[in-house]
Amino acid sequence: MIATIRRALDSDVGYSFRTSPTAIVAALIAAVCIVCALFATWIAPHNPFDLASLDLMNARLPPVWQEGGNPQFVLGTDDQGRDILSALMYGARISLVVGLASVVLSVLIGVTLGLLAGFVGGWLDGFLMRLCDVMLSFPPILIALLIAGVGRALFPNAHETLAFGVLIISITLAGWVQYARTVRGSTLVERSKEYVQAARVTGVAPLRIMGRHVLPNVMGPVLVLATIQVATAIITEATLSFLGVGAPPTSPSLGTLIRVGNDYLFSGEWWITIFPGLMLILIALSVNLLGDWLRDALNPRLR
């Protein structure tokens, strides 16, 4: 294990990471946010969604450094007396899970269709690319709103798990197109190279050529795009939740917390919406910075 880590740090990408202060800081911020989200049950000082532990007498308390603050609630409380710091940890968990799951599904769908379109070509390529053009003609948030709205209309009394499934699918259907177009362009270049022609001549099956030879050579841009799209998916989820069609109210994400705090923003309780907004910005900014670093690290022209 130690030897593997050492080899990774000694590689070109590892050296690029070690010599990039921006990437290191972004990775540390992302790691802290992920750890706090994953281990919120043990790290968070309170369980903000345990109704039995909530006290309306603690509602809308300011942060501890302001007059009237309570040391038990470092970042203050919301309108229901929930600890803002604990709510951020639990809310970030939901946002990260939805964002990562939707990106994974988008990569699977987009890479598969893009690989088929670029390698097979012909009518299949034309059909898939026209489908991508149709999807790109609609704003991604509009597609996500449509799918989320239809899902909630079909399953009005759905369980939380199903509600999260509809949310993930809505973001996935809005995000697979970029992967398909990226992989398709790279596959068109790779399929004309000598190693692919040699594999065809020796009788290797087309599916094996795509999976064993072409796919590894087109995954570089996909990894960079997926890293950046994680932040986009998290922001999309927060937008849907802010509009009321995202995460269920019983398990609010960062977007839901921002929406709740927005009602009190101009009445003096600024912390209810500002801190969830800052948490969302930190996560998105750190992931975007890592994506920019990865793009440069994997670019052979910049080595």
Integer Cα distance of 187 and 222 in angstroms: 12
Which of these, 57, 42, 187, 206, lies nearest to 117 by C-alpha position? 187
CATH number of the domain residue 201 falls in: 1.10.3720.10
Task: Specify whether the CB–CB gap between 215 and 182 falls below 8 A.
Answer: no
Q: How far is CA 152 from the centre of its chain?
A: 22
First-to-last C-alpha distance (Å) of the chain: 27
Q: pLDDT class for 80, splitting at 50, 70, 90?
A: confident
Residue type, 55: D
Is residue 30 one of the residues assigned to a domain?
Answer: yes
Question: Mean pLDDT of all residues in the chain?
Answer: 81
The answer on pLDDT for 105 being more than 90 is: yes
Q: pLDDT class for 204, splitting at 50, 70, 90?
A: confident
Task: Specify whether the CB–CB gap between 283 and 234 falls below 8 A.
Answer: yes
What are the tens digits of pLDDT across the range 245-269? 777 766 778 888 888 888 777 777 8
What are the tens digits of pLDDT across the range 155-186? 666 566 667 777 888 888 888 898 999 888 88
For the chain, what is the domain count? 1
What are the tens digits of pLDDT across the range 12-71? 667 777 778 888 888 899 898 889 888 888 888 888 877 777 777 777 888 888 888 788
What distances in angstroms separate CA 131 from CA 16, 124, 206, 208, one per listed residue?
A: 38, 11, 24, 26
Predicted pLDDT of residue 187: 87
Q: How many CA atoms lie within 13 A of 21 on its CB side?
A: 0
Which of these, 194, 210, 232, lies nearest to 121 by C-alpha position? 210
Structure tokens at 271: 């912390």
Is residue 208 one of the residues assigned to a domain?
Answer: yes
What distances in angstroms separate CA 236 from CA 165, 187, 221, one per listed residue?
A: 15, 29, 22
Integer Cα distance of 230 and 219 in angstroms: 16
Is residue 68 one of the residues assigned to a domain?
Answer: no
Is residue 274 one of the residues assigned to a domain?
Answer: yes
Is residue 60 one of the residues assigned to a domain?
Answer: no
Q: How many CB atoms lie within 10 A of CB 264?
A: 16
Is residue 31 one of the residues assigned to a domain?
Answer: yes
Is residue 51 one of the residues assigned to a domain?
Answer: no
Integer Cα distance of 54 and 59 in angstroms: 9
Domain span including residue 89: 1-46+75-298
Is residue 257 one of the residues assigned to a domain?
Answer: yes
